[in-house]
Amino acid sequence: MMGKHMGPPWWHGRFRGRGYRITVAREAILDVLNRTSEHLSAEDVYLAVHKVHPNVGLTTIYRTLELLVQLGLVFKFDFGDGRARYELAETPKGTRHHHHLVCTVCGRVIDYTDFIDDEIELLSRTEQALSKKFNFKITNHLIQFYGLCNECHRKQ
Amino acid sequence: MMGKHMGPPWWHGRFRGRGYRITVAREAILDVLNRTSEHLSAEDVYLAVHKVHPNVGLTTIYRTLELLVQLGLVFKFDFGDGRARYELAETPKGTRHHHHLVCTVCGRVIDYTDFIDDEIELLSRTEQALSKKFNFKITNHLIQFYGLCNECHRKQ
DNA sequence: GTTTTTAATGAAAATGATTTTCATTTGCTC
DNA sequence: GAGCAAATGAAAATCATTTTCATTAAAAAC
């Protein structure tokens, strides 16, 4: 189960601080994202939330996910299958930063955290240099590798 | 103008080799992509092609762009504005590999080639390691930085 | 605790990029 | 130049996402 002796969820402050309300739908959506390590689409989130709160509509899912992205609590990805995917940016414990391997045949997505340290270091150097050169305030980055996964490679 | 003494366009072989036909529409589309350094949407390409060949439909644009992506001649990007963007993967001379800076406020996209060398080197090491570990045949990668461009940063 | 204020929500309709269908056209092989 | 499958255009269909608007419910004010 969840941790013991918990106060209000960690993200309440982020909402209150900006004047956003804490609602049943928002709690439920964050809860779903918090419980999974998958790359959920808006509909995935909707279905999961719907099991517990059948009265929460898909529109609210979209609106809330968008808000969470704006707040930086959630990352939005495009893996090329025509629907956006969402992942919590941070968990209470702080999930390890990861990047993605996307199979261009079957669409499978593999997370990896290996080699991240080197990447992060280079990225941070690059970010600084880019920020300076283009006067661009970098807040985030996206790194994805594309190719054929084990299965699809074999079948070709 | 274009180079002198040119034979058949460089990409004809890529088509013929795989049994694809060389058509007016395809030539026009590749020509448009070849002439620009912008990140064109399908509609952008359509409008440009339409000026010269008003009989080429949007459907063909989509179909051809998709084919070009499959052939690896064109890269498809998502900058978050709800429409895909296309760029020629290589020019006759071999355009410098570049990555993107995307402004999350105004949507502006800046290409950069600086610092690419370091990145490429790290990427190539990472790709090898990932390929081995996950048995994943990497064919391509995507790197984008997000943040606020000069203008938008100032206005905030 | 009750009232008040206004953000948040749900349902339905709208949007808009992309895809599919299908009859017609056109490269390319022989 | 004929034959044939690939390619095409126009129109319709798809489908994820957004907008509209009347209703509900957080949270502030009392």
**pLDDT tens track for A36-73:** 999 999 999 999 999 999 999 999 999 999 999 999 99
Residue B133 has pLDDT above 90, yes or no: yes
Q: Which helix (H) or strand (E) holds A109?
A: strand A109-112
DSSP B145: E
Class of domain B9-92: mainly alpha
Are B90 and B73 a contacting pair, CB within 8 Å? yes
Q: Per CATH, the architecture of A1-91 is what?
A: Orthogonal Bundle (1.10)
Task: Give me the pLDDT at residue A2, please.
Answer: 46
Q: What is the CA radius of gyration of chain A?
A: 18
CA atoms of B55 and B129, how far apart (whole Å): 49
What tens digit of pLDDT does each residue of A119-142 get?
A: 888 999 999 999 999 999 999 999
Test A149 with B134 for CB contact under 8 angstroms: yes
How far, in Å, CA of A19 to CA of A28, rounded? 19
- Residue A88 CA to residue B19 CA, distance in Å, equals 45
Helix (H, G, I), strand (E, B) or coil at B30: helix
The residue lying closest to nucleotide D25, measuring its CA against C1', is A23
Over residues B57-105, the pLDDT tens digits come to 999 999 999 999 999 999 999 999 999 999 999 765 666 688 999 999 8
User: Smallest Cβ distance to A142: which of B125, B130, B144?
Assistant: B144
pLDDT at residue A118 above 50?
yes
Which range has highest mean pLDDT (A4-13, A87-96, B88-97, B132-141)?
A: B132-141
Nearest chain B Cα distance for residue A49, angstroms = 26
- A1 Cβ partners below 8 Å, 6+ apart? none
8 Å CB contact between B2 and B12: no
Give tens-digit pLDDT for B103-119: 998 999 999 988 888 88
At B125, the pLDDT band (50, 70, 90 cuts) reads very high
* Local confidence band at A94 (pLDDT 50, 70, 90 cut-offs): low
- For strand C, the positions having any atom within 7 A of a protein Cβ are 7-12, 16-21, 26-29
pLDDT at A92: 59
Domain ranges of chain A: 1-91, 96-156
Q: Does B141 touch chain A (CB under 8 A)?
A: yes
Q: Measuring CA to CA, how many Å separate A110 from each of A37, A39, A101, A144, B41?
A: 11, 10, 5, 10, 28
CATH architecture group of domain A96-156: 2-Layer Sandwich (3.30)
Q: What number is the average pLDDT over the span B2-29?
A: 85
Which residues of chain B lie closer than 8 angstroms to A138, CB-CB?
Answer: 101, 145-147
Mean pLDDT, chain A, rounded, equals 91
> Mean pLDDT for chain B?
90
Residues 63-122 of A with CB under 8 A from B: 76, 78, 80, 101, 103-104, 110, 112, 114-115, 118-119, 122
